């Protein structure tokens, strides 16, 4: 089913447009196994062909000064990436299956926490280019793609940024994954890829409709189309690099 999903349902055009807002895809790290780093898809066609083989994982890293698969890693460095948020504060609930959040915990625990984080980012840090997703497992993810963040926040800036953000959220008992937030080169699950832990798809979500759990399986075509539409509405109108 994995290869069928990536051949038939995965929105290659949409994800390609998202990943190339600032730099060409050839400079972006894409890992098809979490322990096999520094893969590159040279263009949209190549990306689709690789996905058609049905990889177990599709993880996205940062953008580099040149394609990061070169043997001499000392000549390659990360020049930018989205600010990524992973809520690392899982509710303790007997209804949640192994590695999968339940509908109630999504609606009353996870979605409200992400809304508070994004409200702080929008209000106090003026972030506007945001994508919010359900990870396909237990968490909510957000990708902040504003150009000022993409290029202007290296790891040290992101650490300071996280400290300031958590001080604003200290009364809400929200925990974020520090490595995901602060490391430009950190891997994050690709939007609309399958999370192998529970076979759910990492889909775009509307946090104002948290009562409808975003638990989408690879064959649920209508639900996938609705999520892709929502994702596309949040993309900037300018084209990909």
Phi, psi values for residue 176, rounded to 5°:
-110, 150
Mean pLDDT over 145-168 rounds to 93
Tens digits of per-residue pLDDT, 176-231? 999 999 999 999 999 999 999 889 999 999 998 877 889 999 999 999 999 999 99
Cα(206)–Cα(204) distance, rounded to whole angstroms? 7
Sequence ranges of the domains in the chain: 2-234
- Round to whole Å and give the CA distance between 154 and 10: 31
- Give the list of residues 6+ apart from residue 97 with CB closer than 8 angstroms, or none: 198
Neighbours of 124 (CB within 10 A): 11
- Which residues, 6+ apart, have CB-to-CB distance to 88 below 8 Å? 139, 175, 176, 177, 178, 180
Q: How far apart are CA 161 and CA 127, in angstroms?
A: 12
Rounded to whole angstroms, the Cα distance separating 218 from 193 reads 9
Q: Using CA atoms, how far apart are residues 52 and 39, in angstroms rounded to an integer?
A: 16
Alpha-carbon dihedral sign for residues 241, 223, 144, 178: negative
pLDDT at 125: 81
Cα distances from 158 to residues 11, 18, 164, 166, 191, in angstroms, run: 30, 21, 10, 12, 22
pLDDT, one tens digit per residue, over 93-130 is: 777 877 789 998 999 989 999 999 999 998 888 888 99
Architecture of domain 2-234: Alpha-Beta Complex (3.90)
φ, ψ dihedrals at 101, nearest 5°: -80, 150
Residue 56 near residue 185 (C-beta atoms within 8 A): no
Calpha distance 154→160 (Å, rounded): 10
Give the pLDDT score at 212.
Answer: 81
Whole-number mean pLDDT of the chain?
90
Query: pTM of the prediction?
Result: 0.93
171, burial (CB in 10 Å: exposed 0-12, middle 13-18, buried 19+): exposed
pLDDT of residue 72: 67
In angstroms, the Cα distances linking 86 to 13, 30, 114, 139 are 25, 18, 9, 7
Label residue 238 left, alpha or beta by phi (over 0 means left) and psi (-120 to 50 means alpha).
Answer: beta
């Amino acid at each position: 089913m994995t290869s069928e999903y990536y051949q038939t349902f995965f929105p290659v055009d949409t994800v390609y447009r998202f990943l190339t807002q600032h730099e060409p895809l050839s400079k972006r790290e894409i890992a098809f196994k979490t322990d096999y780093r520094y893969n590159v898809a040279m263009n949209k066609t190549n990306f689709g062909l690789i996905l058609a083989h049905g990889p177990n994982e599709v993880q996205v890293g940062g953008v580099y000064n040149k394609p990061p698969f070169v043997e001499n890693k000392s000549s390659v460095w990360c020049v930018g990436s989205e600010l990524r948020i992973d809520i690392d504060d899982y509710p303790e609930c007997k209804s949640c299956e192994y590695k999968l959040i339940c509908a109630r915990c999504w609606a009353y625990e996870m979605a409200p926490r992400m809304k508070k984080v994004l409200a702080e980012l929008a209000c106090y840090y003026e972030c506007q280019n945001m994508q919010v997703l359900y990870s396909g497992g237990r968490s909510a993810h957000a990708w902040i793609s504003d150009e000022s963040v993409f290029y202007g926040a290296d790891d040290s800036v992101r650490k300071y940024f996280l400290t300031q953000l958590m001080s604003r959220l200290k009364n809400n008992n929200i925990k974020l994954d520090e490595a995901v937030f602060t490391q430009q080169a950190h891997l994050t699950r690709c939007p609309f890829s399958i999370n192998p832990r529970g076979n759910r798809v990492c889909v775009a979500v509307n946090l104002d409709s948290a009562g409808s759990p975003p638990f989408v399986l690879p064959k649920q075509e209508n639900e996938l189309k609705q999520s892709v539409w929502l994702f596309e509405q949040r993309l900037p109108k300018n084209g990909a690099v």
